[in-house]
Structure 1
Amino acid sequence: VGIWPMMIQAILSRSIPRKVLLEMEMLGDRWTADQMQSLGIVNRVVPHDQLNSTVKDITDRLVKKSPIALRLGRDSFYKQQDMDFRAALAYLHSQFTLVTLTEDSKEGIKAFFEKREPEFKGK
């Protein structure tokens, strides 16, 4: 259509092979959900009639996790991706220390040893 998908390129170039991305951008072909999954652009493909139940299953699992651990983990996942290996390890070590200092971390460990579900507070 006479334009180039500049902005999405920054995201996709970190997720899929460069030559595949270039072909996608140059040809502009539509890709199937299965093709997108095989490239790792989407994590899963579900039939339309199972979409709501699949989303519910995933969200039900996520709400049982520590919100602060999820936030710190997600943030560190993205921040370390462009660091060299040694810098990433040092950064992740500091983030691991932060996670272990949270109340949720202590609650998770305690719940594990007491063989019960943790009651996270997001602190």
Structure 2
Amino acid sequence: AKEALEIGLVNKGVMPEELEDTTMDLASIIAKKSPYTTKVAKRAIRASLELPFSEGVLTERSEFVALFDTEDKEIGVQAFLERKDAEWVGN
């Protein structure tokens, strides 16, 4: 686990007894994000797994760039600036 963390394979290590709480904390953070953005990110990651690395990166990048033209991006920026929770619309 230590080596996986050191080489960047994982971004956090937890003890087995902390796993459930840590997982729920992460799920809570993800649940507060735009559902549409999360869906697009998952789709891009899944698609990139089937491609050579260089093509996968391009796929992820194009999906990411497309998110800049969404209402959820505007809502997210505004919520961040106002230091409040976003009310996502899903596009």
Q: TM-score range by the shorter chain?
A: 0.5 to 0.7
Checking the alignment, whether the CA contact within 8 Å between 2:48 and 2:55 is kept in structure 1 is no
Closer/same/farther in 2, CA of residues 52 and 96 from structure 1, 3 Å limit: closer
Of 33, 36, 48, the residue aligned with 1:68 is 36
2:90 aligned with 1:122, yes or no? yes
Report the counterpart of residue 27 of structure 1 in structure 2.
none
Q: Which has the larger radius of gyration?
A: 1
- Quick check: 1:96 aligned with 2:68? no
Q: What SS is found at the alignment partner of 1:121? A: coil
Identify which of 48, 54, 67 aligns with 1:85.
54
Question: Unpaired runs of 5+ in structure 1?
Answer: 1-33
Alpha-carbon distance in 2 for matches of 1:100, 1:49:
39
Residue pair 1:107, 1:120 contacting (<8 A) in 2 also: yes
Shift of 1:108: 0.5
- Please tell me whether the aligned partners of residues 111 and 118 of structure 1 are also in contact (alpha carbons under 8 angstroms): yes
Flag as ranges the 4+ runs of structure 1 deviating above 4 A.
none
Q: What residue ranges of structure 2 are gaps of 5+ in the alignment? A: none
CA–CA separation in structure 2 for the residues paired with 1:58 and 1:85: 29
Q: Does 1:52 align with 2:20?
A: yes
Identical-residue share of aligned pairs (%): 25
Count of aligned residue pairs for this structure pair: 88
Distance change >3 Å, CA 49–CA 75, structure 1 → 2: same
Q: Distance in 1 between matches of 2:77 and 2:32?
A: 15
Q: TM-score, normalised by structure 2?
A: 0.64
TM-score (norm 1): 0.52
Preserved CA contact (<8 Å) 2:34 2:90: yes
Q: Bigger CA drift: 49-58 or 95-104? A: 95-104
